[in-house]
A and B are shown apart, each in its own frame.
Chain A
Amino acid sequence: MDLGLTEMQEMLKNGARDFLENECPEQLVRDMEEDDAGYSSALWQKMAEQGWQGLLIPEEHGGAGFDFLDLCVLLEEFGRALVPGPFMSTVLGGAVPLIEIGSDEQKAEFLPKIASGDVIFTLALTEPSARFDDEGVQCEASVNGNDVTFNGVKLFVPDANVADYIIVAGRSEKGITLGIVATDQDGVDITQLQTIARDKQAEVKLNNAQGQLLGVEGAGWEALGPVIHRYTVGECAYMVGLAQMDFEISVDYAKERVQFGRPIGSFQAIQHKCADMVTDVDGSRFIMYKAAWAISTGQSEDETQMSVNMAKAWCSDATRRVVAHGQQIHGGIGFTKDYKIQLYFRRQKRAELSFGDADYHRELVAQQLGI
């Protein structure tokens, strides 16, 4: 038992932190809020040179073959730097399902391009019903050999505006069915949504959209299990990094801001908020890594499922408490657009909602406890 990072993970973490401090400054984060694409293609290419898009991809397909826990170390740094763009969509929504259930041809076709930064993927799971279970997938799929045609509306699809391919979850007569849909066709109509985090989520209308079948017709929901686990824990890792940074900024501010002739951080009312923040951040980090560890080391299905649900339930609420304290400690200045703390506050909510908030996962925990 050891809750420390390995030497290699420390290197990955420190390397990522240095890189992102230079390459993803606050100004870029702000610029991308106003940008139509929402990401910097220059940064995207540099990240590919770091090997990040291909971190999970096996070496035979041009990746680094690291495990999922390693990716979470990186995603924690992404959260810290608020890296904008389609990284999680591409890696967790694209590479992961391809690795899990792609045919040899599909792996050979797409994985090297993901690793090299040449294509962007996303996953279209949710619909206007905003459900995360299999009942939420109602988009029509009809399969003909290796081809699949989709009709329906997918909603809250991340980064669809820049994606080259969307992995669509639809429903055929045999059940939930996945397909890889190229976005450069008439049957795919993408409308960007304005969101709290000013990230790029979209409504995707599929009107006889053509795709290639991914995995087995009717077995899509089972195939999505490992994908949803990883994406969910990835969101937790992002939240942990985000909350850690919000906390650090807030503690620094409390040391500097003087009222009544003394730093506000000398008041216990502020100190106790800071103590609660570090407790929540640390608690989130370990419960997230426990889930990442369960996935990476192939613990039993029951244990993995439970640890993923616990991680998302805990991190969603705990990191929200952190960013709320961060706002309160900053007082009026924190409410201004110019000051950086609000960037974390708004992004926390996006990640909290993604793949189910605390209430959703707490219910799943309760069910697994038999109550």
Chain B
Amino acid sequence: MDWQDSQEQAQFRTEVAEFIQTRLPDRYRSGEENNDETQTTGWQADRKSNDASAKESAITWADALAEKGWIAPHWPKEYGGAGLSVMEQFIYNQEMAKADAPPVGGMGVSLLGPTMIVHGSEEQKAEHLPKILSGEVAWAQGYSEPSSGSDLASLQTRATRDGDDFVINGQKIWTSGAQYADWLFALVRTDPEAPKHRGISFLVMDITTPGLTVRPIVDMGWQEPFNETFFEDVRVSTSNIIGEENRGWYVGMTLLDFERSGISGAIEYERTIKELLKYVNAESEDDTRVRDDFESVRHQIADRYLEVNVLFNFAFRIVSMQNSGMVPNYEASVNKMFGSETHQRLARTGTKVFGLYSNLWSEDSEYSPMRSSFTRDYVRSVPHTIFSGSSEIQRNVIATRGLGLPRG
């Protein structure tokens, strides 16, 4: 067991860190001058922004990464990726997260591209992959529906064949970033008679196709991270299917982007707790906002610190397994569940530290401790135990797939 980099790993880490340090546009650098909105909307929104400097930052950063082949570090070299090893990808993701640098390419890079590389035709790859890597096309994912959340395979959005086209009718929801996307990949039902997992196809389409409407949803934290997407007789060529017809469920489930989410969460929470500690330890005696005279509050902070360390180890375990050729099973679900629950506990602890002042939502009130970041996170971390497989689903997966308990 070893928690330290090998010499080669350390070398690569330095290379990545120095690159970020030199090339990351100011807009994405952590610091007081960056407002909360910049931090959360990221690259995909910036590239469509009306603000010229935001747009330029997005383009500059994408160009810098593209020079290194680091827009898609995990893709094979023949498709324009960097072909990094599992451990190098991990280090790359760690350093990006440490610098709070926005990943470029969104779901095109993380999900659609790798899926297409496995299941797409040569024509599809030639058409779509270069545009993902150049930052020209951003993708959104259309999986969930109003009546199909955890039970995703029950989805009802219907694609009916009409000559060389599919005609799509139905509705998707929680389509993250669709308002900033150019293309959509979606799971649609192509055979309503077949068992539910076997009548689904994986389709890609231009988001401006007539009949397709994207409507942002305002969440309880006053943000618009996702949308409702409506399909009214949307015509898509049958050549836009990825993989075989009615095998879309298996195409869509090929890749779970667990690795990236694992480590970036741990790094984000570590940064958060360090900022909290810095604030608490620097407070003057007459700062009545900080309640660190309560032992229960001090111990909660210590517990959160412990949990972040446990979470790091869970992420390290996954990459250690992959690096020695093993395929993680329940371990990825443990990461997701424990990470998202730790996130919520951390936000709650922050609100405990500041007591009555945790009412404050405003970033720039003179009364706001730490620019109200914990209050905001307390609200905005709510969906983290829900999306990408709720904590309940993760526990089901751990118990049945991991521990072999019989399905209910």
B277 at the interface (CB under 8 A from A): yes
In angstroms, Cα B403 to Cα A275, docked, is: 8
In angstroms, Cα B314 to Cα A2, docked, is: 12
Contact present for A286 and B303 (CB under 8 Å): no
In angstroms, Cα B313 to Cα A3, docked, is: 8
Contact present for A276 and B404 (CB under 8 Å): no
Contact present for A286 and B314 (CB under 8 Å): yes
Residues 311 to 339 of chain B near chain A (Cβ within 8 Å) = 313-314, 316-317, 319-321, 323-324, 330-331, 333-334, 337-338
Contact present for B3 and A293 (CB under 8 Å): yes
Contact present for B313 and A362 (CB under 8 Å): no
The binding surface of chain B is classed by DSSP as helix
Contact present for B398 and A275 (CB under 8 Å): yes
A15 at the interface (CB under 8 A from B): no
Interface size on A, residues (CB 8 A): 45
Interfacial chain A residues near B316, Cβ < 8 Å: 1, 3, 286
Contact present for A371 and B277 (CB under 8 Å): yes
The binding surface of chain A is classed by DSSP as helix
A366 at the interface (CB under 8 A from B): yes
Contact with B along A258-280 (1 / 0, CB 8 A): 00001101111011101110110
Residues 179 to 214 of chain A near chain B (Cβ within 8 Å) = none
In angstroms, Cα B396 to Cα A47, docked, is: 41
Contact present for B399 and A369 (CB under 8 Å): no
Q: Which of A1, A5, A255 contacts B405 (CB 8 A)?
A: A255
A283 at the interface (CB under 8 A from B): yes
B358 CB to closest chain A CB (Å) equals: 18
Interfacial chain A residues near B87, Cβ < 8 Å: 1
Contact present for A275 and B394 (CB under 8 Å): yes
Interfacial chain A residues near B320, Cβ < 8 Å: 1-4
A287 at the interface (CB under 8 A from B): yes
B405 CB to closest chain A CB (Å) equals: 4
In the complex formed, the residue of A with least CB distance to B320 is A3
Given A282-B317, A371-B298, A251-B3 contact (CB < 8 Å): no
Interfacial chain B residues near A3, Cβ < 8 Å: 1, 3, 313, 316-317, 320
In angstroms, Cα B132 to Cα A252, docked, is: 48
A154 at the interface (CB under 8 A from B): no
B305 at the interface (CB under 8 A from A): yes
Contact present for A1 and B302 (CB under 8 Å): no
Contact with A along B280-305 (1 / 0, CB 8 A): 11000000000010010011011101
B402 at the interface (CB under 8 A from A): yes
Q: Point out residues on A near B: beta carbons under 8 Å.
A: 1-6, 9, 69, 251, 254-255, 262-263, 265-268, 270-272, 274-276, 278-279, 282-283, 286-287, 289-290, 292-293, 297, 310, 313-314, 359, 362-363, 365-366, 369-371
- Can you sample 16 A-B contacts with CB below 8 Å? A1-B2, A1-B6, A4-B1, A9-B1, A271-B399, A271-B405, A272-B399, A276-B395, A282-B331, A286-B313, A290-B3, A297-B4, A363-B299, A370-B277, A370-B281, A371-B298
